[in-house]
Amino acid sequence: MATMYNTSRGPTWDPMVVEIWPWDGDGPVGRLELSEKIEVTWADRGSGTVLIESPLTDLTRSLIPADGAMLVVVNLNGKRHVSSVVEAVPFAESDQIHDVRIRVATASPWSMLEGQLIPPVPDQPLSLQQSAEEFVLTGPVETVVKRLVQLGAARLGHPIQVQPDTGRGPTVTVRSRNDSVSDLVDKALAGTGYRLRLDAWLPGDGPVGDLPLTRPTIIADVQPYRRQPGLVWSARAEELEKWQLRHTRATATRMIVGDKGEKTAQKFVEVVADDEPGSPWARREGYTSASSDGDDLQQVGLDELAKTGPVVSADIAASPAAVWEFGSDGLYPRQYDVGDYASVELEGIGSIEQVITEVTATLTPVSLTVVPKVATPDTRERDLYSTVLDLDKRLGQQQRR
């Protein structure tokens, strides 16, 4: 039986459209319907996913094997999510052995960056890698990130096209000796206020500049995080359920930096963080070394101290009014997206501004929910990322008719 969903835009039969496309095709082979659950995650720095629980049909059977032949394409309020299958599991339970179903997990284009490595001489044959100890790239963050993406995609033939470089952002340096493009991009972007957008182009879309596009392709661009006026939630407006802030001391406040010399020939300098606490109880030393003879040891130390400073993390549960919608089609008065700044006003603390780094939309036979997550994207180590806000925004309860 068809179901009407009540969304922020009003009643609709199709709040989220899911299609299956061939990787080299010019249109979908079918539309996925009557699934038990479809969970779609758009992510900033990291791989977005689609999780599908559905009956095994001719269409869902086309997702087997997990060889990249088929793509899952999701559209929600103008937001497109394109991903490839990483796991497909047909199964039947013991009490319903004739009811064959399938679970599918996919990964977004960021996962291609995770599978790309940058050797010391990335644009030459591997037999020539002994000519350099490591690959070093310095320049504006846009230039560096786009070059990394180009190198990685070219090595494996990934369907990624890069927008023209305009040289935006602060100067950064990355070094690689068979490191993944995803890790290098993450390090390059940290603290810059910029992000890597990986948007999907499909046959039927309009042209994108002078890029040669004929089949499903990812368009890479580097852009600053976006501010949305009025994207604020506060305790005073009763939009917060609970919250906490966690302050953690620095793991190192000064750094011993060694040059490239060996044993007794090695020289050292000490670099102290500008914001080292006045209390000696909080002082801590760390060690790092230069990676090449020409390195400025003072700068090496400062770069390392930037990774070891104090951390402030927050955990806030909110239930804001439904005045904002996840989307980009301009058909709702106020829309937010991954990569937007969001502010949360806390009593006794003030305003915390962080970035929407992830949005998960879940469609079931009874509801559609959208959960944006606001987190800290500028921490260099991903395991230090601190979630700042989980917003469980229910878009609609399904009514059966």
In Å, what is the CA distance from 318 to each residue of 232, 242, 323?
11, 7, 14
- Give the CB-side neighbour count of residue 181, counting CA atoms within 13 A: 27
Which residues partner with 240 through β-bridges?
318
Q: What is the pLDDT of residue 397?
A: 39
Rounded to 10 degrees, the C-alpha dihedral 329/182/159/37 comes to -50
Judge whether 373 and 48 are in contact, CB under 8 Å.
no
Give the residue ranges of the chain where pLDDT is below 70.
1-2, 131, 241, 314-321, 376, 378-401
Judge whether 251 and 286 are in contact, CB under 8 Å.
yes
Three-state secondary structure call for residue 373: strand
Three-state secondary structure call for residue 53: strand
CA–CA dist 363, 16 (Å, integer): 8
What are the backbone dihedrals phi and psi of residue 278, each rounded to the nearest 5 degrees, phi first? -70, -30
Q: What is the pLDDT of residue 320?
A: 56
Work out the number of other CB atoms within 10 angstroms of the CB of residue 295: 16
Q: Amino acid letter at 186?
A: D
Judge whether 284 and 310 are in contact, CB under 8 Å.
no
Q: What is the pLDDT of residue 110?
A: 98
Three-state secondary structure call for residue 282: helix
Residue tagged 């591997």 (tokens):
126
Rounded to 10 degrees, the C-alpha dihedral 330/333/335/340 comes to 110
Which helix (H) or strand (E) segment holds residue 216: the answer is: none
Q: What is the pLDDT of residue 383?
A: 33
Q: Amino acid letter at 368?
A: L
Write out 132-197 in H/E/C secondary structure.
Answer: CCCEEEEEEHHHHHHHHHHHHHHHHCCCEEECCCCCCCCEEEEEECCEEHHHHHHHHHCCCCEEEE
CA–CA dist 399, 391 (Å, integer): 23
Burial class (CB in 10 A: 0-12, 13-18, 19+), 380: middle
CA–CA dist 55, 99 (Å, integer): 8
Where are the alpha helices (H) located in 241-352, listed in sequence order? 297-305
Q: Beta strand pairing status for 135-140 and 117-118?
A: unpaired
pLDDT tens, position by position, 14-70? 899 999 999 999 999 999 988 899 999 999 989 999 999 999 999 999 999 999 999
Residue 86's closest CA among 62, 70, 106, 69? Answer: 106
Q: Beta strand pairing status for 79-91 and 101-107?
A: antiparallel
The full DSSP string for 230-267 is: EEEEETTTT-EEEEEEEEE--S-SEEEEE-S--GGG--
pLDDT tens, position by position, 209-233? 999 999 999 999 999 999 989 988 7
CA–CA dist 356, 195 (Å, integer): 12
In Å, what is the CA distance from 156 to each residue of 48, 93, 109, 146, 187?
21, 39, 13, 16, 22
CB neighbour list of residue 335: distance below 8 Å, 6 or more residues apart: 77, 324, 325, 326, 327, 328, 329
